[in-house]
Structure 1
Amino acid sequence: MATNTEHNAVNSAVNGDTSTHAQDFEKATRGMSHEEKTAAQNAARFGYGPLAHMRTNLDATLPAFGGEFQPGLYRGVEKRKFANPAPLGLCAFALTTFVLSLINLGTRNIKVPAIVISLAFGYGGLVQLLAGMWEMAVGNTFGATALSSYGGFWISFAIILTPGGFEIEATITEQQSTKALFDCLGFYLMGWFIFTFLLLICTLKSTVAFFLLFFTLDLAFLMLGCSYLVLENGAPHTGLTRAGGAFGILAAFLAWYNALAGIADTSNSFFIVPVLHFPWSEKGRAARTEDKTDSSV
């Protein structure tokens, strides 16, 4: 096991001259076990941990990583002035989705989603929108688009749920009918289903957890959208609503998982959250090439 002295040596190596980082890397990790050294190296590839800046090639690209909300190869930010905003946005999305999905599942017979209004405005909406703006600052187009859009989703959804807010529900019901209101909500959710599908396509070369996050979220939007378009006794379809809630719960936990992957490193956690890359991704192809090289030696 590495001692505190060895840990401090790692941090000292980080602050050294970039031309000597390769030598300092070996020196700083000399007292670590194989598992600890591997974990530190993995954390460093994602821009975190005590070895985060110990790269001699400043133009090197890093593999897709859900903790950074990066679906493809991206360039690491040396001596970044901004923290990683992705975990904040993911957590804001996860908690708000978790609460709403429990209600959609009919947990403890709760059917009125009024409690979600506060979360949707304050956490899932405002905080996630801010995280999306900060993703722009670190140069992550995908993260900025996704987090800002879902922040906007929660704010707009909270406006719809707010009693007497913009009188959206009352206007549609009075001027047309309750069925027209349900149809409009179905259109609204199907639009988010299409948007999420577009993002889903962009995660096909990333990690399994990152892909599954958008896959389950997309199915949640689809089920909930269909529940308003396929009514049951004049009300949203119960089975489809519960199916949407189930997929929403999965999406929430996957969002938390990706957030933890972006937060945990060897300086604050006893373990590094595993991220499994697809075999056809850049990381997967590189691993296969390395295995073939090792087997041929």
Structure 2
Amino acid sequence: MADTKVTVAPVANPAALGLVAFGLTTVLLSLINAGVLPPGGEPVVIPLALAFGGLMQIFAGAFEFRLGNTFGMTAFLSYGAFWWWFALLLLLAGNHWIDISAAGPTVGVALLLWGVLTLYLWISTFRLPKVLFLIFLTLWVTFGLLGIGAIQHHPGLSHLGGWLGLVCGSLALYASFGIITNETFGRTVVPLGAKPFLS
């Protein structure tokens, strides 16, 4: 019986899509939070958060599930849902379909809880490329600053969270750029810190 040769087709890396969707949307919102763009620009983020930041990360998370990547699945599906939550909150409250006037610190606490999720995901990045370690490090601190700023009505903390979010989003864009470029060229062109902190 002759040997049968099985050819396995290469699989695209969904992290490239998930990271650019997260990064681009995060950069735009962070520019508003940092005070670089006006607060009135928030409605511009809504369709971007739904169509790109949210939906494309959900697609990326579903593809990570097919690849058996628990970390990628959890991260992309969670942050995809975050952008849908954020956009729906603005839409529903802005159109008076829900009343959050008496919500008090609830939005700030919600941001802190997103920070808790990000903190425990960050622990796993000690075994992943260093660029992911930096993305999740800056993200959980960003959520912390934005959450405390919202609870205490402290615009300085919110602005600081915006600036750190800008760093986080830029790192995610860089990571997506690196994944795509390196896979296209078939070699490391853009360094991503592939060697993890813990092996």
TM class by shorter chain equals 0.7 to 0.9
1:155 aligned to 2:53?
no
Contact 1:98 1:248 in 2 (8 A): yes
The answer for the alignment partner of 1:259 in structure 2 is 176
Which whole-Å CA distance do the structure 1 matches of 2:196 and 2:85 have between them? Answer: 38
The answer for the alignment partner of 2:139 in structure 1 is 217
Stretches of structure 1 that go unaligned for 5 or more consecutive residues are 1-16, 19-52, 54-77, 232-236, 283-297
User: SS of 2:125's equivalent?
Assistant: coil
User: SS of 2:105's equivalent?
Assistant: helix
The answer for the alignment partner of 1:39 in structure 2 is none
User: SS of 1:107's equivalent?
Assistant: coil
Which whole-Å CA distance do the structure 1 matches of 2:59 and 2:85 have between them? Answer: 15
The answer for the alignment partner of 1:129 in structure 2 is 58
TM-score, normalised to structure 2, is: 0.88
The answer for the alignment partner of 1:73 in structure 2 is none
1:275 aligned to 2:192?
yes
The alignment-based identity, stated in percent, is: 39
Contact 2:21 2:56 in 1 (8 A): yes
Q: 2:49 aligns with which of 111, 120, 130?
A: 120
Which whole-Å CA distance do the structure 1 matches of 2:179 and 2:187 have between them? Answer: 14
What is the deviation of 1:271?
6.1
Change (3 A) 1:266 1:252: closer
Contact 1:266 1:272 in 2 (8 A): no
What is the deviation of 1:205?
2.3
The answer for the alignment partner of 1:69 in structure 2 is none
Which whole-Å CA distance do the structure 1 matches of 2:192 and 2:24 have between them? Answer: 21
What is the deviation of 1:274?
1.2
The answer for the alignment partner of 1:101 in structure 2 is 30
Stretches of structure 2 that go unaligned for 5 or more consecutive residues are none
- The structure where helix makes up a greater share of residues is 2
The answer for the alignment partner of 1:90 in structure 2 is 19
Report matched runs for 1:45-56 at 5 Å.
Answer: none
The answer for the alignment partner of 2:121 in structure 1 is 199
Which whole-Å CA distance do the structure 1 matches of 2:107 and 2:182 have between them? Answer: 42
CA deviation digits over 1:53-85, x for unaligned, max 9? 9xxxxxxxxxxxxxxxxxxxxxxxx534x4211
Amino acid corresponding to residue 224 of structure 1 in structure 2: L
TM-score, normalised to structure 1, is: 0.60
CA deviation digits over 1:161-184, x for unaligned, max 9? 11227x33x2x32xxx3xxx3411
Amino acid corresponding to residue 159 of structure 1 in structure 2: L
The answer for the alignment partner of 1:64 in structure 2 is none
User: SS of 2:127's equivalent?
Assistant: coil
Which whole-Å CA distance do the structure 1 matches of 2:107 and 2:184 have between them? Answer: 46
Change (3 A) 1:185 1:273: same
Which whole-Å CA distance do the structure 1 matches of 2:141 and 2:158 have between them? Answer: 11
Change (3 A) 1:129 1:279: closer
Q: 1:164 aligns with which of 67, 88, 95?
A: 95
What is the deviation of 1:204?
1.3
User: SS of 2:189's equivalent?
Assistant: coil
Which whole-Å CA distance do the structure 1 matches of 2:79 and 2:159 have between them? Answer: 21
Larger-gyration structure (1/2): 1
Which whole-Å CA distance do the structure 1 matches of 2:184 and 2:60 have between them? Answer: 24
1:138 aligned to 2:138?
no
Aligned residues: 192
Which whole-Å CA distance do the structure 1 matches of 2:104 and 2:62 have between them? Answer: 32
Contact 1:227 1:238 in 2 (8 A): yes
Aligned-pair RMSD on alpha carbons? 2.2
What is the deviation of 1:207?
2.4
Which whole-Å CA distance do the structure 1 matches of 2:9 and 2:186 have between them? Answer: 22
Change (3 A) 1:267 1:125: closer
